[in-house]
Amino acid sequence: MPQHFDDRPIGVFDSGVGGLTVLAELRRRLPAEPTLYLGDNARAPYGPRPADEVLRFTLEAADLLLAQDVKLLVIACNTATARALDEVRRRSSVPVIGVIRPGALAAAAATRTRNVGVIATAGTVESGAYHEAIVEADAATQVAQLACPELVPMVEAGILDGRRAESVLRAYLEPMLAADPDIDTLLLGCTHYPLLRAPIERIVGDGVAVVDSAFTTALAVEDLLDALGARASGVEADAMHRVATTGDVAAFVSVAERLFGERLPAVEAVEIEPMPALPLD
Ligand code: DGL
């Protein structure tokens, strides 16, 4: 059979820098694939926003990426996946992968006690999407969910470890684990949270496995590309990896470079309509 290649980029979207944790895993697993990342930093966080607003923002981001002729869309944001995956799929001309099912499968595979803790944004917790996806993977698993609204703004501000990160994380995690001592697996149900993995692992200790959706999402993308016969040819192209943000380019670059430990390609600025106010607490 003749071999087909598709050298169009994989589009990756998040509300901000969090989806870079998924992009990093995609690039490790699929080094020949060109990528195009869009962070909607100007309108992050998505977690506290009403469901219809997250849906609208996600559809706008998907349109921006589709206009760049991507071959596949990865919604590397749990909140956007929970609120918008079905609708983006309905409207998209290319396949769309979210991060919730991959995250749920990672957690269901890791737990021995069948007690999983999920930390996520308020929007993701409220949607119930993780509860549903984990129970679908294993109906006997107990799921305790906790919304952690302080974490995304902290990561977007570049605070990834140290005294402040540690105390904010302790205030969330210690009561959760004390209330549910059988939890042996903590699922980072927001793609920003792996950037806080070091302090999270210190706080939960060796008895709790910390898992996220990055690896299993990359596997899902790989399987899909193979099923479609749509892998890239592996010929080094100019601008293999493009990164764009709707927010402040310098702030984006500083967090992103700490994550990747390398200089990013020039980050592009994308214009988006002004940010509607966040709902008050
Ligand atoms: N990375 C997004 C997620 O996985 C964060 C959403 C937000 O901006 O609050 O949910």
Looking at the structure, do residues 116 and 173 belong to the same domain, yes or no?
Answer: yes
Q: Tell me what pLDDT residue 181 has.
A: 97
- d(C-alpha 161, C-alpha 195), whole Å: 9
Domain-located, residue 62: yes
196 and 240 share one domain: no
User: For position 222, what pLDDT does the model report?
Assistant: 98
Same domain, yes or no, for 66 and 149?
no
Q: Which of 212, 228, 246 is the last residue of a domain?
A: 212
CATH number at residue 200: 3.40.50.1860
Ligand 1 pocket, residue 190 CB under 6 Å? yes
Alpha-carbon span 57 to 276, nearest angstrom: 11
Distance CA 86, CA 84 (A): 6
- Domain-located, residue 75: yes
Q: Please state the rounded mean pLDDT for residues 69-88.
A: 98
pTM of the entire predicted model: 0.93
Same domain flag for 86 and 168:
no
Mean of the pLDDT values across residues 107-111? 97
Residue-wise DSSP of 80-127: HHHHHHHHHHHH-SS-EE-SHHHHHHHHHHH-SSSEEEEEE-HHHHHH
Q: Is the pLDDT of residue 280 over 60?
A: no
Ligand 1 centroid – CA 229 distance (Å)? 31
d(CA 221, CA 120): 23
Q: Where in the sequence numbering do the catalytic residues fall?
A: 77, 190
Q: Same domain, yes or no, for 109 and 25?
A: no
95 with 219, same domain? yes
Give percent above pLDDT 90 in the chain. Answer: 83
User: 188 and 107: one domain?
Assistant: yes
Task: Give the atom of ligand 1 at the shortest distance from the alpha carbon of 156.
Answer: 8
Question: Does residue 132 fall inside a structural domain?
Answer: yes
Q: How far is the CA of 124 from the centre of ligand 1 (A)?
A: 8
Give me the pLDDT at residue 271, please. Answer: 79
The residue segments making up the domain with residue 187 are: 101-212
pLDDT at 259 (0 to 100): 73
Q: Is residue 248 part of a domain?
A: yes
Distance CA 158, CA 108 (A): 31
Per-residue model confidence as pLDDT tens digits over 13-47: 999 999 999 999 999 999 999 999 999 999 999 99
Rounded CA-CA distance 212/198 in Å is 13
H or E stretch at 20: helix 20-29
Angle between the N-to-C axes of helices 20-29 and 214-228, in degrees from 0 to 180, rounded to the nearest 10 = 50
- Residue given tokens 């609120």 in the structure block: 83
Note whether 87 and 136 are same-domain residues.
no
Name the residue of 40, 124, 152 whose CB sits within 8 Å of the most ligand 1 atoms, as the mutation to test its pocket: 152
Task: For the chain, give the mean pLDDT.
Answer: 93
pLDDT tens-place string over residues 226-266: 999 999 998 776 668 999 999 999 989 988 888 777 677 78
Report how far residue 78's alpha carbon sits from residue 85's, in angstroms, rounded to the nearest whole number.
10
For the CA of 47, the nearest atom of ligand 1: 9
4 located within any domain: no
Do the beta carbons of residue 17 and residue 264 sit within 8 Å?
no
- What is the number of domains present in the chain? 2
Specify the higher pLDDT residue, 154 or 256: 154
45 lines ligand 1 (CB under 6 A): yes
As a whole number, mean pLDDT of residues 166-178 equals 98
Map residue 58 onto helix, strand or coil: helix
Question: Quick one: pLDDT at residue 2?
Answer: 60
List the residue whose alpha carbon is closest to atom 2 of ligand 1. 77
pLDDT category at 281 given cuts 50, 70, 90 is very low
Q: Which two tokens stand for residue 117?
A: 């803790």
Tell me what pLDDT residue 257 has: 85
Strand partners, 145: 118
Over residues 62-84, the mean pLDDT reads 97
Rounded mean pLDDT, 63-75 = 96
What local confidence, expressed as pLDDT, does residue 234 receive? 84
User: pLDDT tens, 119-148?
Assistant: 999 999 999 999 999 999 999 999 999 999
Whether cis (ω within 30° of 0) applies to the bond prior to 9 is: no
Q: So what's the pLDDT on residue 279?
A: 61
Q: How confident is the model at residue 277, as a pLDDT? A: 59
Nearest atom in ligand 1 to 124's CA: 10
195 shares a domain with 130 = yes
Judge if the beta carbon of residue 16 lies within 6 A of ligand 1. Answer: yes
- Do both 192 and 92 map to the same domain? no
* Pairwise CA distance, residues 95 & 88, whole Å: 9
- 89 is a domain residue: yes
Q: How confident is the model at residue 1 (pLDDT cuts 50, 70, 90)?
A: low
pLDDT the model gives residue 214: 96
Q: How far apart are CA 6 and CA 103, in angstroms?
A: 27
Expressed in angstroms and rounded, the spacing between residue 90 Cα and the centre of ligand 1 is 22
Q: 193 and 236 in one domain? A: no
In a domain, 5, yes or no: no
**Does 77 sit in the ligand 1 pocket, CB within 6 Å?**
yes
Task: Determine the average pLDDT of the residues in 112-125.
Answer: 98
Residue 280 lies in a domain: no
Whether residue 73 is found in the same domain as residue 161: no
- Indicate which atom in ligand 1 lies nearest the CA of residue 79: 10
